[in-house]
Amino acid sequence: MRHPFLIPTIVAGGVILSACAKETEEEKVERTFQEVNVIDETNLNDVMLAAADPNEAATYFQGISNKYPDRIDLQRGLAISLSRAKRTTEAATAWKRVTTMKGATNGDKLEYADAQVRNGNWKGAKATLDTIPPTYETFKRYRLEAVVADSNKDWKRADQFYETAVGLTTRPAGVMNNWGYSKLTRGQFSEAERLFSEAVRQDSSLFTAKNNLVLARSAQGNYSLPVIPMSQVERAQLLNTMAISAVKRGDVNTAKNLFREAIATHPQHFDEAVRSLRALEEA
């Protein structure tokens, strides 16, 4: 008489086992989807690196790299984003982490050295560069070698590295500007002027090179504007730069005239030049 009660018990047990099996299968499917997402998110990673605001990208990569700390591509994405956001201290730490991971490349070491340079850690940057084989020859490598040699006042090596870097890029204006500034700090004004002029010829939008060119000419007592492309605002700013250089050289009357010309040239109120001129006249 107890058999009718036994059957429901067995059936109930079967339902429980079936539910357990179903739950396990769902978990398996969920894990599969997670694995697929890890693969497919590579496209999202690329989008974040290419199009996102650097700080937003850094937040994204910080979150996802915490979930998958052993994935070098995510740690690299975080380091790149921090570098783009100019968060130099954090970027240097992130790149250091990347260089210690399995799959790290010489390119990663180079980015770490770059982050160290931007963070003012010249000694650390040199140590990092020294770990990269000499056979790894790229424009960025030689540009970094040059600025590090500059920081150590190793002018001969700096010149060699700058020259090599110039030959390894189709857009040498930036490195020529750096090289010219190196010459300027050494007091080699005519050489600096030549390099700045060449930088402007290569890229007429590079205002830093235009401003440095004016500094190099002013250091030689030449207060005439160079014949280069410039807007009205740039012309006023360059005249102001020359005036400041004239003050430093003790050419006060020349400086006053240059400040007046800068004020007259600027299409709007040029407060900086006005204040400087007033200070000179009151003095």
Residues contacting 134, CB < 8 A, separation 6+: none
**Which region among 29-43, 82-96, 258-272 has the lowest average model confidence (pLDDT)?**
29-43
Residue 44's pLDDT band, with cuts at 50, 70 and 90, is: confident
pLDDT tens-digit readout, 65-76: 999 999 999 999
Q: How confident is the model at residue 49 (pLDDT cuts 50, 70, 90)?
A: confident
The fraction of the chain above a pLDDT of 90, given in percent, is 81
Answer yes or no: is pLDDT of 10 > 50: no
The 10s digit of each residue's pLDDT in 119-164 is: 999 999 999 999 999 999 999 999 999 999 999 999 999 999 999 9
pLDDT band with cut points at 50, 70 and 90 for residue 23? low
User: Does the pLDDT at position 5 exceed 80?
Assistant: no
Averaged pLDDT of the chain: 88
pLDDT score, position 25: 53
Cα atoms found within 13 Å of the Cα of residue 140, Cβ hemisphere only: 13
Residues 6 or more apart whose CB falls under 8 angstroms from that of 180 comprise 191, 192, 193, 194, 195, 196, 199, 209, 212, 213, 216
- Give pTM, 2 decimals: 0.79
pLDDT value at position 86?
A: 95
User: Closest Cα partner for 60 from 46, 72, 97, 70?
Assistant: 46
pLDDT at site 228: 96
For the chain, the residue count is: 283
pLDDT for 28 equals: 52
Does residue 204 carry a pLDDT above 80? yes
**pLDDT of 7 above 50:** no
Q: What is the rounded average pLDDT of the residues 89-106?
A: 97
Q: Does 29 score more than 70 pLDDT?
A: no
Q: How far apart are CA 210 and CA 200, in angstroms?
A: 6
For residue 32, is pLDDT > 50?
A: no
- b vs e for 55-70, b when ≥16 Cβ sit within 10 Å of the residue's Cβ? eebbbbbbebbeeeee
Axis crossing angle, helix 232-248 with helix 207-219, rounded to the nearest 10? 30
Cβ(215)–Cβ(186) under 8 Å? no
- pLDDT band for position 101 (50/70/90)? very high
Residue 283's pLDDT is 80
* Confidence at 24, pLDDT banded by 50, 70, 90: low
